[in-house]
Amino acid sequence: MNTTWRDANGVSEETYPYPDMRFADLLLLCAEALNESKSAPDQEVYLYIDSVRSRAGLKGVVESWANYSNQPSKPLTKEGMRQIIQQERKIELACEGSYYWDSHRWKTALTEQNRPIMGWNINGREAEEYYTLVSVYVQQFTYRDYFAPIPQSEMIKNPLLIQNPGW
């Protein structure tokens, strides 16, 4: 919604639809689901991922891996295509908040989110000091963090509920 104040007594509002999901996100989710449901990736899996790649001016995934990779057969296996799709999602949806949920769904959060976050030394006065990498924050992710705690109010409403592990 866009709100504009005309004067002390008037305001105008303009509403517009906000996309809940980008089309590229949907295409990559389809490619991921198809890859997981089949014994090996096929043209249908490649079609969805290539649709996203073509928007960026990139060639198809099979052609690109065959011509420019030291693992040309990677997109031909289910496991290899899974890794490619995960990388494509990280690139396409960078800074959109999808990676947090993707890492939970892929069960990779324990390894990927247990590391220090590095940054430049913002307290450095000279360029040499400033551009020194320092640990800004140390992430801690445990198995229990895959689950959210069930609120106590819900536990009271339904005594048959069992709290998620670790909470």
Domains of the chain with bracketed CATH: 23-106 (1.25.40.900), 110-167 (no CATH)
**98-124: per-residue pLDDT in tens?**
999 999 999 999 998 898 999 999 999
Contact indicator for 75, 45 with CB cutoff of 8 Å: no
**34-58: per-residue pLDDT in tens?**
999 999 999 999 999 999 999 999 9
Q: What angle do CA 24, 93, 132 make, to 5 degrees?
A: 160
Read off the pTM: 0.76
* Burial class of residue 146 in the structure, from the number of CB atoms within 10 Å of its CB (0-12 exposed, 13-18 middle, 19+ buried): middle
Q: Which amino acid belongs to residue 118?
A: M
Assigned token pair, 16: 């517009």
Between 103 and 13, whose confidence is greater?
A: 103
